[in-house]
């Protein structure tokens, strides 16, 4: 009753004080998501939710043996009917009456006499064998994982015989072949690479340490400061303070968490954010940036940008994304593009996930006009996505290249050995990923290995 009363009051308030708002993906809270200090109301309940809409009836799967058995049983049944009909016709020569009922009874009698031709017990025998196979799978010690204390489990008895017929395996990469634990490995700032010969320094679960990069950050190099400032501003990470005062980061993507952690280790600490501001600790000094606009990341855009205003009043666009889309939007006279591209190719060959960072200084008058057009596009009832895309494209051009980051996502334990075993079974493996071509080629080398030693050599 209380919830219904609150909902009624909200509806009455909207009717009395109408306000035009646009509702998109950002305003939705999905099922089982975490929500903290956010006011919301439900727009989909029960069968209207995405979870229920997608939960249709599962497809009944048949194995090859089932299909073959069904065809054989139908053929045997047809043969039984044919033989019974032939014998019934042959019996008519010795029958003195031509009663139709008598003929039908004779046909049915032959069907009953010859019903043993149909192997009905075959289905029962096959199910017993399948049940036995599932028990052997559950008892198999070779398929037991001692690290996680997880034995093999046959979830269905219908498909066990199909395991020997598999010819292709389509596998996701992130989280399946790799651990999905991102680690900041290397970076490139102003055409210079860092992290090529680095030591290990574990700070905040961060294992990157390059004395040369630390030195230029201490000297307050403007390019290095802009590089790490971008990592601290251009993201969707939320911070949460523990009881002991330590900040922990909650990120939608492990890439963002790794980059924000890297910036914190070099003196640029992301502290907190609100819908209007982002607070940083830059070399021990608290700096609050006004958040002007966020140009969200999508799979189509392959980049994310933020527009912020510094305490000095400087408005800057910070952008990070894939090299294929960011390079197209750089200033034509950018001399660092070729040097950065060489390092990106090297990162791809090393199996690292790379992002390109860029920025752009903006005029206040232009930003105000652009924000007005952005608001009009965001509340448009028709063509909203197209208009927003045009405004994003208008803003993200003639940018200046700052550098690139390389994040490592190591392979899961046992992946080379598993691929070796699958290769010996003549099973072809296809990897599905949206990463760069170089990283994909590096991973396909693992797939091409025929024996364990070849796989290890290719990884090295």
CA distance linking residue 12 with residue 377, whole number of Å: 27
Which string of b and e fits 271-293 if b means at least 16 CB within 10 Å? bebeeeebbbbbeeeebebebbb
CA distance linking residue 218 with residue 209, whole number of Å: 14
CB 267 within 8 Å of CB 282: yes
| Residue given tokens 């090295």 in the structure block | 460
Catalytic residue among 48, 140, 172, 398: 172
CB 325 within 8 Å of CB 394: no
172 is catalytic: yes
Tally of CB atoms within 10 A around 218: 12
Tally of CB atoms within 10 A around 318: 24
First and final CA of the chain: distance in angstroms?
65
CA distance linking residue 242 with residue 222, whole number of Å: 33
Give the helix, strand, coil percentages of the chain, each rounded to 5. Answer: 45, 20, 35
Chain mean position to CA 390: 27
CA distance linking residue 115 with residue 292, whole number of Å: 81
The catalytic residues are: 172
């Amino acid at each position: 009753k209380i919830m219904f009363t609150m909902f009624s009051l909200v509806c009455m308030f909207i009717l009395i004080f109408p306000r035009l708002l646009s509702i998109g993906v950002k305003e939705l809270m999905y099922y089982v998501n975490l929500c903290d200090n956010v006011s919301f109301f439900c727009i989909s309940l029960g069968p209207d939710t995405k979870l229920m809409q997608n939960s249709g009836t599962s497809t009944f799967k048949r194995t090859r043996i089932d299909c073959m058995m069904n065809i054989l049983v139908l053929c045997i049944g047809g043969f039984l009917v044919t033989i019974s009909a032939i014998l019934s016709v042959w019996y008519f020569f010795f029958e003195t009456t031509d009663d139709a009922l008598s003929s039908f009874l004779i046909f049915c009698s032959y069907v009953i006499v010859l019903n043993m031709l149909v192997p009905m017990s075959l289905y029962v025998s096959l199910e017993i064998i399948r049940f036995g196979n599932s028990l052997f799978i559950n008892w198999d010690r070779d398929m037991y994982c001692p690290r996680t204390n997880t034995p093999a489990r046959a979830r269905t008895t219908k498909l066990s015989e199909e395991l020997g017929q598999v010819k292709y395996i389509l596998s996701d990469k992130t989280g399946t072949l790799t651990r999905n634990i991102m680690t900041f490995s290397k970076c490139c700032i102003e055409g210079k690479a860092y992290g090529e010969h680095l030591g290990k320094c574990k700070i905040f679960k961060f294992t990157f340490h390059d004395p040369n990069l630390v030195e230029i950050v201490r000297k307050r190099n403007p390019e290095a400061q802009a590089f790490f400032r971008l990592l601290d501003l251009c993201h969707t990470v939320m911070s949460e303070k523990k009881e002991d005062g330590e900040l922990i980061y909650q990120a939608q993507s492990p890439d963002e968490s790794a980059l924000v952690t890297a910036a914190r280790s070099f003196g640029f600490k992301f502290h907190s954010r609100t819908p209007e501001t982002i607070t940083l600790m830059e070399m021990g000094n608290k700096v609050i940036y006004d958040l002007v606009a966020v140009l969200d990341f999508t799979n189509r855009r392959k980049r994310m940008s933020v527009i912020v205003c510094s305490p000095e009043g400087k408005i800057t666009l910070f952008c990070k994304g894939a090299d294929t889309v960011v390079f197209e939007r750089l200033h034509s006279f950018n001399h660092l593009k070729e040097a950065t591209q060489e390092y990106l190719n090297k990162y791809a060959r090393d199996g690292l996930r790379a992002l390109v960072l860029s920025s752009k200084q903006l005029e206040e008058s232009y930003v105000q006009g652009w924000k007005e057009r952005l608001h009009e596009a965001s509340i448009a009832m028709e063509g909203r996505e197209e208009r927003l895309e045009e405004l994003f494209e208008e803003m993200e051009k003639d940018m200046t290249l700052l550098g690139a980051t390389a994040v490592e996502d190591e392979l899961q334990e046992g992946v080379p050995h598993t691929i070796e075993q699958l290769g010996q079974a003549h099973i072809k493996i296809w990897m599905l990923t949206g990463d760069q071509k170089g990283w994909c080629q590096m991973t396909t080398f693992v797939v091409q290995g025929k024996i364990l030693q070849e796989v290890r050599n290719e990884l090295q």
